[in-house]
Amino acid sequence: MDINLSSEKHSLIKFLGLYIFLTLIIFALASVMYYKFEKDVMLYSKLPRLQENSKDVIRRIKAMHESLLEDNFYPRYSTFHSAIFDADYKKIFSLLHNDAVDFNDYLYKKGKYIYFIKEPGLYYLGAKYVVIEVPDDEKWLTTLYRNIALYGTLFLLFMAVLGYFLVKQFLRPMKDSFLLLNNFIKDTTHELNTPVSTILANIETIDKNKIDQKVAKKLQRIDIAARTISTIYKDLTYLLLQDKIPSKIEKIDINSLISQRLTYFATMAEAKKIKISFSQSPTFLEADKQKITRLIDNLLSNAIKYNKVGGTIKITTFRNGFSIEDSGIGIPEEKKEEIFERYKRLTNSEGGFGIGMHIVLSIAKEFGLKIKIDSKEQKYTKVTVTW
């Protein structure tokens, strides 16, 4: 019998998701630092040329300042643009594409231009600052993006593979525990089948009308206990094998199937003096009969277990579904969705592992069935299954 380790795989995927998310954050921070580093390298590589340009502009405006009106044309260049600002950062003259100069830094990139700010020794033409603007072809940026994409992809793949093997190592002890527990459950359920079936078969052969009433009551309690163990055995077997056994689709007469299961649970219902009414309309379903039996068994079992002594169960079938309504303890409104969770039990007063409604939901999903639960505490619970 193979072992279902879906929960372990789910934990592995979640951990890997978190690991990759953190790796992406590290990658993003590294990319930003790489970008700043490459930008600084590019800016300082152009600094000597910018300094030469600023010197030439200062020399020209110095000549204008000294010649007064004899040469009053501001210098213009084909390879760069310039501007002069006074001590209050007010523009005196500008040929820049963007006059919003940032005077907090003497060398920076803004948009597609690089700016360099130089302070002449003297205020020629009233200028405190000379600003040089040169276009940036951004070839370095294309190379930077290509490197980030290439090395980033390799880095992420490496971290994903590394994370996968690390997680496998971390989860190995838990996986071993799962294997041990699953093997224990598998062996236990296998060993339970034969004795429980033997007990039930022998009880059915006893003519209860020929034995003492006290003995008959004891026999009834043994019968109920054996059927409860048998139901738990079938639920555990379903959980272990649900993904391994392909469904055998056939046309199921739901009325006939419910009648059979009522016979099976008759002893348990009689013990609590529960009256069962069954209103039938023709209804059929194409699905796996064994799995639909598990669905009906769990609903009937719950209707009996969580019912009061002397209560009622109303079963109604209609063209595209059926409903089972008990007069039991009901379900609090805020816990209606929780009852489908595995190992979730609303009360500890009854036996079981809390896997019945989880199995019901699992089977319903497989065959596209819809489940509706109406309930009122201490009044009733009505489960309607439609298709």
> What does the DSSP assignment read for 10-49?
HHHHHHHHHHHHHHHHHHHHHHHHHHHHHHHHHHHHHHHH
* DSSP β-bridge partners for residue 253: 284
Would you state the pLDDT for residue 364?
93
Q: Exposed e or buried b for every residue in 97-120, given b needs 16+ CB within 10 A?
A: eeeebeeeeebebeeebbbbbbeb
Mean pLDDT on 251-256: 95
pLDDT category, 1, cuts 50, 70, 90? very low
Rounded Cα–Cα distance for residues 56 and 58 (Å): 5
> Per-residue pLDDT for 323 more than 70?
yes
Rounded Cα–Cα distance for residues 157 and 164 (Å): 11
Mean pLDDT on 243-266: 88
pTM above 0.75, yes or no: no
Would you state the pLDDT for residue 325?
95
pLDDT category, 21, cuts 50, 70, 90? confident
Of the listed ranges 17-31, 71-85, 90-104, 224-238, the least confidently predicted one is 224-238
> Per-residue pLDDT for 2 more than 60?
no
Mean pLDDT on 228-244: 77
The label of the residue with tokens 């669905």 reads: 295
pLDDT category, 203, cuts 50, 70, 90? confident
Mean pLDDT on 132-153: 92
Structure tokens at 313: 């169960």
The label of the residue with tokens 């994370």 reads: 163
Q: Exposed e or buried b for every residue in 272-310, given b needs 16+ CB within 10 A?
A: eebebeeeeeebebebbbebbbbbbbbbbbbbbbbbeee
> Per-residue pLDDT for 3 more than 50?
no
Mean pLDDT on 107-136: 92
Say if residues 297 and 234 touch (Cβ distance below 8 Å): yes
Mean pLDDT, the chain, rounded, equals 86
pLDDT category, 246, cuts 50, 70, 90? confident
* DSSP β-bridge partners for residue 134: 114
Would you state the pLDDT for residue 344?
65
Would you state the pLDDT for residue 51?
95
Please give the residue that has the higher pLDDT: either 13 or 138. 138
> Per-residue pLDDT for 199 more than 80?
yes
The label of the residue with tokens 């700043």 reads: 36
Structure tokens at 354: 């809390």
Of the listed ranges 50-54, 80-84, 207-211, 307-311, the least confidently predicted one is 207-211
Q: What length is written for the chain?
A: 387
> Per-residue pLDDT for 368 more than 90?
yes
CA dihedral for 231, 234, 239, 240, sign (positive or negative): positive
The label of the residue with tokens 């310039």 reads: 82
